[in-house]
Amino acid sequence: MTREALLVVHSGRKANQRVAAGVVQRLAAAGIRLRIFADEWTEEPLDLPVGMEPIPIEAKPQAAEGVEVVLVLGGDGTLLRAAELARPAGVPLLGVNLGRVGFLAEADPESLDEAITAVIESDYHVEERMTLEASVMLNGGPVRSSWALNEAVVEKVNRGRILDVVLEVDGRPVTGFGCDGVLCATPTGSTAYAFSAGGPVVWPDVQALLLVPLTAHALFARPLVISPSSAVAVELDARGYPAVLVCDGRRTIPVPPGARVELSQGEAPVRLVRLREQPFTDRLVRKFSLPVRGWRGAPIPPNPS
């Protein structure tokens, strides 16, 4: 039976296409056939084994069903796009950063060969990351729902206006204020928008939800770290202004005045490939270029002999 993988590429750069062509050739030589979105594949026909040509497909929800892994060449935005396909299929994602920070990616361009070898040999482990479920409710009934790996943000639509909101946790009001919006993030998303908005970095193995007010006009408007089993809601003033719910910067739902956005831990996680055991601290230092020069580490205990 032919092994298959799905390749998702940030195709806006010609260099990425060249990288993708090399990946196709190497995996095909190892007996792994790739599914590729037709609008992302513009290379000339490659010299590939018979029957191992890429399978052009459409970007439909079932695109990742039946594959071993979703291989992503691009930045975090490309990986979040690929997560929309990998999550419902329960397929792991392996990201190779061809963008800027690429915090979600497991490999950098210089370790691409290692990543491809790991796919060929199935030599990797999978880490599950919690997700968010977000629903817009109006007059007691659901309007629309979505999900997020990084964050779900309720933010204002009118730039010159302020949103009046009330935060609720586990069915009880916590505080209300005027603001630009409210962000709810997972530990994975704590290094994304939430970090830029002044929230704390949360280690991925900490199960928690993170609430971050965005430019709130209030004394008690600090980030909150709450239980992953908690139910969170953001209520909009019925006499106020409309907002929009944005999930991972990709999926949007209008939120009219008087509506509420309910947020909770998602039932289905996103599965990320890890090539090796690596402390999150090292990833944090490397991706953010943190100043650790001068660190000597803990003193080595004396030899008892």
Catalytic residue among 39, 47, 76, 123: 76
Structure tokens at 17: 């296409």
Specify whether 39 is catalytic: no
Asked if residue 187 lies in contact with residue 284, where contact means CB atoms within 8 angstroms, the answer is no
Number of other residues whose CB lies within 10 A of the CB of residue 242 = 16
**Angle (nearest 5°) at CA 261 between 192 and 246:** 40
Pairwise CA distance, residues 282 & 288, whole Å: 10
Amino acid letter at 171?
Answer: G
Sequence-ordered alpha helix ranges (H) in the chain: 14-29, 76-89, 112-121, 193-196, 280-288
Q: List, in order, residues 6 or more apart from 179 with CB less than 8 Å away.
A: 162, 163, 165, 213, 214, 215, 216, 217, 218, 221
Pairwise CA distance, residues 223 & 215, whole Å: 11
Residues belonging to the active site:
76
